[in-house]
């Protein structure tokens, strides 16, 4: 069995950016109005709020946005009011420069903090060795996708894959070489699946791919993966290249299973039917007594 890792996709990124731009724009406009009403003495403390907001939302770029607004605010204020004294101009220039430097520092700190949080979040969702999603993420995603199919219709297909004779591979070539093979397989899966699909390390040397579509889509993907893994060369001690094969089982929901638990069981049954028939093949689940390796409709 196997775990899996991938960088999670965060939906709604553009909407979030639009909301942040709107919030920062409203903050700058609101602070500018307050300073105009209350007087210049409130300028620096009030402008600290949008500066902090911009650093959190847009990192170093945020300091540029606030500084640009602040500079234009001064120009507008001086052009509409009494002529600025040299002391006022000097104060405005120094204050704007200090705001710019402070914003850069705040933005840099916030960027590093954001990157650290992103790494920690990704590590909780993915498998370090293969770069695929882990078992926990797979289970949550499977439940959500089954719920969507129940509510909106459609079809969901699960492909379970297992490296053939992996224990013997480890015993013969060592665990480090085995880990290298798992890493290569993870890379192959990530490259083969669509953004809308999820590839996971289910446990040990077993992998799972969940995709929207019927069993024919699952079979075609599983066959591509089987052929790709078959050609993976792993270098062992002495410079020799060794190869490994993979067996797969395919099942679909709701046609082939009543719920998410049964979907996993059906795909697993098909996987072990592939093992029973000699490995390095794909089997589609069509019932306990009617599993098939290759539907006639899918023969190239």
Active site members: 205
Nearby residues of 195 by Cβ (< 8 Å), 6 or more positions away: 9
Does residue 165 come out as left (phi exceeding 0), alpha (psi in the -120 to 50 range) or beta? left
Residue with tokens 């990192």: 59
Whole-angstrom Cα distance, residue 168 to residue 55?
54
Whole-angstrom Cα distance, residue 80 to residue 93?
18
| Residue pair 66/50 in contact by the 8 Å Cβ criterion | yes
Angle at 116 (CA atoms; ends 114, 117), nearest 5 degrees = 65
- Quote the tokens at residue 198: 């999820």
Q: Where are the alpha helices (DSSP H) in the chain?
A: 13-38, 43-80, 86-125, 135-152, 166-173, 175-192, 215-230, 260-276
For the chain, the first-to-last Cα distance in angstroms comes to 30
Beta carbons within 10 angstroms of residue 196's beta carbon: 10
| Residue pair 248/242 in contact by the 8 Å Cβ criterion | no
């Amino acid at each position: 069995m196997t775990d899996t890792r991938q960088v999670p996709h965060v939906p709604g990124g553009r909407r979030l950016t639009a909301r942040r731009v709107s919030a920062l724009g409203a903050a700058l406009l609101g602070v500018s109005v307050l300073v105009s009403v209350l007087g210049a003495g409130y300028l620096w403390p009030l402008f600290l709020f949008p500066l902090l907001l911009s650093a959190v939302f847009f990192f170093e770029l945020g300091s540029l946005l606030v500084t640009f607004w602040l500079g234009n605010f001064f120009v507008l204020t001086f052009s509409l009011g009494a002529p600025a004294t040299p002391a006022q101009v000097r104060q405005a220039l120094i204050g704007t420069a200090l705001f710019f430097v402070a914003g850069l520092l705040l933005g840099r700190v916030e960027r590093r903090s954001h990157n650290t949080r992103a790494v920690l979040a990704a590590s909780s969702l993915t498998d370090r060795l293969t770069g695929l999603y882990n078992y926990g993420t797979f289970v949550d995603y499977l439940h959500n996708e089954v719920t969507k199919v129940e509510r909106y219709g459609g079809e969901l297909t699960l492909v379970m894959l297992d490296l053939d004779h992996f224990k013997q591979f480890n015993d013969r070539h060592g665990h480090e070489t085995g880990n290298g093979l798992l890493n290569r397989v993870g890379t192959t899966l990530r490259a083969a699946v669509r953004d809308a699909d999820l590839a996971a390390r289910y446990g040990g040397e077993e992998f799972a791919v969940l995709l929207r579509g019927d069993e024919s889509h699952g079979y075609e993907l599983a066959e591509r993966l089987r052929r790709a893994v078959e050609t993976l060369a792993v270098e062992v001690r002495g410079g020799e290249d060794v190869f490994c094969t993979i067996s797969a089982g395919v099942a679909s929901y709701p046609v082939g299973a009543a719920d998410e638990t049964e979907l996993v069981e059906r795909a697993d049954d098909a996987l072990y039917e592939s093992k029973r028939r000699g490995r390095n093949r794909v089997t589609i689940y069509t019932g306990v007594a009617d599993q098939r390796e290759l539907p006639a409709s899918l023969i190239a």
